[in-house]
Chains A and B, each alone.
Chain A
């Protein structure tokens, strides 16, 4: 090469390389701080090293070229294996960059031989890092395919900064929110259009009226004119003015109508273009927060790798359909459950390599995550492992042993129903069960999240062969289809998925049976509950004029009354703002198509509301499946009264004993808890405010204990506030009594209903 040209080239190279090294060292520092940095950081490092390599070759700095090559292969290995870059490697890379900077600084002023000699040390240090076994070595030196073309760029030309920028998610969210607010502009335009139309119709009316009166007025003018003519007088000024007005009026009204029509037309045209723009902006805005599932790939692979190494197991995690795009927020939510499920799978499901070999399986187990869009804006994520599967018989036995239900009931359950038990946290966390099921708490967590996201989860297994967990979730956050219904003076949104049908109450057989409203529907007797009562909203609509939504489980459907169903639309649900951390029965709020805000109903809360629970426990609605207790002959039932006040305690004891129950007493929650654990009771009546442990805590503890979970608890208290009542229901009280309106017959009746 012409030395003069080379030296020119090298000047350009120095400038370019300095820039590249700067960017590299920034990335390296970030990497050192958090080694978990995503693939994209490694990707960008790769690209920069790749172009540095190309430039170094062009200016004959061969050792630098070799160093870059070594680094590239190293990074490719980490990228493909999904293992995070260890600190040791990062710091060596940092040192290397330091020496590159020195080389580039000294280039042209120090003889090449000396520079090359220095770089050789760096090269050997880098080479020492390389083969660590786990890291897959790339076959070809063309490591960064995206960067391939850059090597042909003449040194000195600026690096293409790329056509993308990084934006903080917060900022993006803010923009999306603001664009959602543009819906108001849309609505405003529609309103202006209506106003224009009204104005033009008013003017039309005026004009018609005018046309009717016009001949009269003209005649009058004519009459006056001829009168004046006959008398040979000049027209009076009034007549003159009248004639002028007649002439003017027509042209004036005509031009007014013309301009209003013109305005109306342009408003309409503007409205249409704003509509299209806003709609496009909204849908594009939502797309912006979509990311491919594969962004989780590295994390999941690393987790699988870590856990399997800890347990001396061999696992190959494969992801299929990683390019399916899911809203970033949803993906964030799914991350934890997926990690748990993988952990569970390796912990409990996958056998040790030698066991697998003995079973004739590949010693390397496989976990396969497959993503498949299933339409309706949903994606099915299945996680399949080829481990030992679920021992249904074992789970069944454990369920009986753990007292999850009576033995006879367990026998009746199908295998599928037995597997459903594994989703219960109180069950799956038991060591013995984890061991048998090969699953742990992961299932419970996954179920919670899937349901929170309006999705579902299914579990299936073939013993000895595989376990498949399928999670179906919407790909976009919180856009769901909801029915808009009127309750009191409010419009609320009820998720369509949570209801099966809507019928007019008057078309059904709605009757009062034993003091409870019921409705016949599909040859079943359904309890009727007004949503207004559950939400404590004032409503005057009679039951007959209401619309009944059929909600609840297949076994226990419920007719939930609303005043009217006004429509169905896709809504984006937002969380309630601070300080509303959680409001019972409300899942969030949304902006309706007409721009109004509406609350979105949390059907789970509604179905567990105290009103509904008490309706179900007091009515004649067969709870499915019938509990074995119902068929037992009547025996004297045992009740525990937990109450710190002696007077109340004696009073309660007397009332209940008079009604024919065996009554034991405890002086506070702690005392009560000990008694409940050591003796068997059919029912607990507890006060709320007590020393040591209050009634809510006691109830919560009882509910958390698998053997006691079905023990009815009646909370009796002087607290009349709604919050406490809700708290009572939330911790799992079966019924709630307020002392101030305490009537002993009420308590006895409630006790009778519960046991």
Chain B
């Protein structure tokens, strides 16, 4: 009786240690599904051309109500607006990207683009939404984007979406008006 008990105890001990080992084996971190390196982008359209902005440089999308033109500024400066009390410059990328002739529609959708303290509102024809774009899908597309100044562009996707180089575009140096 006592012996049987003993073997029971041993058996259960053994079983438990086997279970434990299996549990440890099973508890390995699950292989994560393969996510290619890349990031989220805000997609928008200007003059029938799709553009994408890294989401970390965007703040909000809003409807432009009225904009005050500032006399004497270059055409890419549409004007200024007061965004919750903060004066913000509205930039018309069509002029910066030489897309003006192709553009027909103007919409009132703006994206607030931000880098540190620097903030501007980018006028778009349409904001299309968010999309994940893998780094591998971005190609260097110099030949296709002949009219857009090279320094503002990071690349182009297979679908023809132009990835804007926000780090360069969103700076006083790139857009400054200093007369």
Main secondary structure of the interface of A (DSSP, over half): mixed
Beta-carbon contact of B118 and A597 below 8 Å: no
How many angstroms from the CA of A580 to the CA of B89 in the assembled complex?
Answer: 8
Question: Which of A582, A591, A599 has the most chain B CB atoms inside 10 A of its CB?
Answer: A599
Q: Which of A153-161, A174-182, A312-320 contacts B (4 or more CB under 8 A)?
A: A174-182
Q: Which of B46-54, B75-83, B146-154 contacts A (4 or more CB under 8 A)?
A: B75-83
Question: Which of A576, A580, A585, A598 has the most chain B CB atoms inside 10 A of its CB?
Answer: A580
A224 at the interface (CB under 8 A from B): no
Beta-carbon contact of B72 and A589 below 8 Å: no
Beta-carbon contact of A535 and B179 below 8 Å: no
CB distance from A525 to the nearest CB of B (A): 28
Residues of A within 8 A of B80 (CB): 576-577, 580, 589, 597
A649 at the interface (CB under 8 A from B): no
- Which chain A residues (564-622) contact chain B, with CB distance < 8 Å? 574-586, 589, 591, 596-599
- Which chain A residues (268-304) contact chain B, with CB distance < 8 Å? none
Q: Which of B10-18, B23-31, B170-178 contacts A (4 or more CB under 8 A)?
A: B170-178
Q: Mark A539-577, 1 if CB is under 8 A from B, else 0.
A: 000000000000000000000000000000000001111
Q: Mark B36-71, 1 if CB is under 8 A from A, else 0.
A: 000000000000000000000000000000101111
Question: Which of A579, A580, A591, A596 has the most chain B CB atoms inside 10 A of its CB?
Answer: A579
Beta-carbon contact of B86 and A597 below 8 Å: no
B161 at the interface (CB under 8 A from A): no
CB distance from B64 to the nearest CB of A (A): 13
Q: Mark B104-147, 1 if CB is under 8 A from A, else 0.
A: 00000000000001111000000000000000000000000000
How many angstroms from the CA of A583 to the CA of B77 in the assembled complex?
Answer: 11
Q: How large is the interface on A (under 10, 10 to 19, 20 to 34, 35 or more residues)?
A: 20 to 34
B9 at the interface (CB under 8 A from A): no
Residues of B within 8 A of A580 (CB): 70, 73, 77, 80, 89, 176-177
CB distance from B58 to the nearest CB of A (A): 17
Residues of A within 8 A of B33 (CB): none
Beta-carbon contact of B68 and A574 below 8 Å: no
CB distance from B76 to the nearest CB of A (A): 10
Residues of A within 8 A of B84 (CB): 177-178, 181
Beta-carbon contact of B85 and A180 below 8 Å: yes
CB distance from B151 to the nearest CB of A (A): 15
Assess A535 versus B178: contact at CB under 8 Å? Given A181-B85, A581-B172, A591-B82: no
CB distance from A387 to the nearest CB of B (A): 40
Chain A residues proximal to chain B, CB less than 8 Å: 177-178, 180-181, 490, 535-537, 574-586, 589, 591, 596-599, 722-723, 726-727, 730
Chain B residues proximal to chain A, CB less than 8 Å: 66, 68-74, 77, 80-82, 84-89, 117-120, 171-172, 174-179
The 25 sampled A-B contact pairs (Cβ below 8 Å) are A177-B84, A177-B86, A181-B85, A535-B71, A535-B72, A576-B80, A577-B88, A577-B89, A577-B119, A578-B117, A578-B119, A578-B120, A580-B176, A581-B172, A583-B70, A583-B72, A583-B177, A584-B179, A586-B70, A589-B68, A589-B87, A599-B68, A722-B72, A727-B179, A730-B179
